[in-house]
């Protein structure tokens, strides 16, 4: 039988995954899991694709903020437009670091700018902008297009699970509507299975059947304790597999625990500076909790034979 996870090195992480899938399928002493209960959830940034030196969606947002500052020079004196126009990426990095450390003092300032950047446009227009960006922009240090920044081992894992009757969902702190245009192509996860942060939406009737518009107001931030709530709201089930990489994923990973059926919690560790990046900032609590809760820590350096798939970039 061909190896379903060729990008994974033989080791404990691969063993845990294969053993879990076999037990879920009824191999071993347990009864297995009905197909309808085989729900797997994955964080996106830093779990399915690269998130350094900044989240991919943040690059998308920064470019829009710069455009707005050019159109209205007065914005250059206000955050986050000032940091975007001055290429002060340290300001954005500091805000995200503060957030993962539990300090959201400046998150509101950033969020207000993000909401203003894409408020008042239709959901279709936003999807077009996001898709065009993802198909044309390149990672600033890895020298590859963003659509080739997905982790090959995780894409293989998604396919392996799907082949064994699992329904895969993305449960990300990133924008739901930013990921949807490419989720099917990149991960074989249809748009209706993408759970993520969202702005408020408003229906506007017209002679063409109406339009859904993005309002300059937040709906919810799908991070931390919000993740289990949104997963339940979408799936109506407690997942049996969850994968994440940061403190914001701890509640989702905790929520995947069961007393009477197979389950698996994966925590991706970024420890490969040669092929990707090495960092634990924003994951300190998760890494401390992992051995206490029996999570499987996936080492990029040791568990992955390759990080990125060598495939042609899209020319669409």
φ/ψ of 34, rounded to 5, equals -55, 150
Q: Are 164 and 63 in contact (CB under 8 A)?
A: no
Regarding whether 66 and 204 lie in a shared domain, the answer is no
Whole-angstrom distance, CA of residue 199 vs CA of residue 219: 5
Whole-angstrom distance, CA of residue 250 vs CA of residue 223: 9
Regarding whether 85 and 220 lie in a shared domain, the answer is no
In a domain, residue 296? The reply is yes
Regarding whether 253 and 170 lie in a shared domain, the answer is yes
Regarding whether 241 and 179 lie in a shared domain, the answer is yes
Dump pLDDT digits (tens) for 206-225: 999 999 999 999 899 899 99
Regarding whether 114 and 192 lie in a shared domain, the answer is no
In a domain, residue 184? The reply is yes
Regarding whether 44 and 186 lie in a shared domain, the answer is yes
Whole-angstrom distance, CA of residue 151 vs CA of residue 297: 16
Which CATH number goes with the domain that contains 187? 3.40.50.1000
Residue 249 C-alpha from the chain's centroid: 10
Whole-angstrom distance, CA of residue 21 vs CA of residue 11: 16
List, in order, residues 6 or more apart from 10 with CB less than 8 Å away.
Answer: none
The pLDDT of residue 311: 52
Regarding whether 61 and 31 lie in a shared domain, the answer is no
More confident residue, 253 or 95: 253
Q: How many domains does the chain have?
A: 2
Q: What percent of the chain has pLDDT over 90?
A: 82
Regarding whether 156 and 28 lie in a shared domain, the answer is yes
Dump pLDDT digits (tens) for 146-173: 999 999 999 999 999 999 999 999 999 9
In a domain, residue 295? The reply is yes
In a domain, residue 144? The reply is no
The pLDDT of residue 90: 85
Regarding whether 108 and 205 lie in a shared domain, the answer is no
Find the mean pLDDT for residues 188-201.
97
**Local confidence band at 29 (pLDDT 50, 70, 90 cut-offs):** confident
Regarding whether 184 and 39 lie in a shared domain, the answer is yes
Regarding whether 296 and 179 lie in a shared domain, the answer is yes
In a domain, residue 281? The reply is yes
Q: Are 274 and 74 in contact (CB under 8 A)?
A: no
DSSP string, 110-175: HHHHHHHHTTTSBHHHHHHHHHHHHHH-B-TTT-SBGGG-BBHHHHHHHHHHHHTT-EEEEEEEEE
The pLDDT of residue 312: 39
pTM, 2 dp: 0.93
Domain interval for residue 107: 56-118
In a domain, residue 179? The reply is yes
In a domain, residue 3? The reply is no
Q: Are 130 and 177 in contact (CB under 8 A)?
A: yes
Regarding whether 266 and 161 lie in a shared domain, the answer is yes
Least confident of 83-92, 150-159, 230-239, 276-285: 83-92
In a domain, residue 19? The reply is yes
């Amino acid at each position: 039988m061909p190896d379903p996870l060729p990008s994974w090195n033989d080791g404990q992480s691969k063993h845990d995954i294969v053993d879990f899938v076999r037990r879920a399928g009824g191999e071993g002493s347990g009864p297995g899991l009905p197909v309808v209960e085989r729900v797997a959830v994955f964080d996106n940034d830093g779990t399915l694709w690269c998130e350094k030196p900044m989240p991919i969606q943040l690059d998308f947002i920064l470019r829009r903020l710069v455009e707005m500052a050019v159109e209205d020079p007065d914005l250059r004196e206000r955050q986050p437009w000032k940091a975007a126009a001055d290429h002060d990426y340290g300001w954005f990095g500091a805000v995200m670091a503060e957030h993962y450390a539990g300090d959201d003092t400046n998150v509101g300032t950033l969020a207000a700018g993000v909401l203003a950047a894409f408020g008042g446009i239709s959901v279709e227009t936003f999807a077009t902008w996001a898709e065009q960006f993802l198909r044309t922009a390149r990672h600033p240090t890895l020298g590859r297009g963003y659509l080739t920044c997905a982790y090959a081992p995780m894409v293989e894992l998604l396919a392996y699970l799907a082949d064994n009757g699992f329904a895969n969902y993305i449960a990300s702190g990133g924008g739901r509507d930013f990921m949807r245009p490419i989720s099917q192509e990149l991960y074989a996860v249809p748009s209706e299975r993408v759970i993520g942060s969202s702005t408020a939406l408003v229906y506007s009737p017209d002679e063409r059947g109406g339009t859904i518009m993005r309002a300059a107001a937040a709906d919810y931030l799908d991070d931390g304790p919000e993740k289990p709530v949104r997963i339940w709201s979408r799936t109506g089930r407690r997942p049996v597999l969850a994968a994440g990489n940061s403190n914001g994923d701890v509640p989702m990973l905790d929520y995947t625990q069961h007393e009477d059926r197979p389950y698996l919690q994966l925590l991706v560790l970024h420890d490969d500076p040669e092929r990707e990046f090495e960092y634990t900032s924003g994951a300190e609590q998760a890494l401390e909790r992992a051995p206490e809760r029996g999570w499987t820590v996936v080492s990029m350096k040791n568990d992955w034979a390759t990080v990125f798939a060598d495939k042609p970039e899209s020319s669409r």
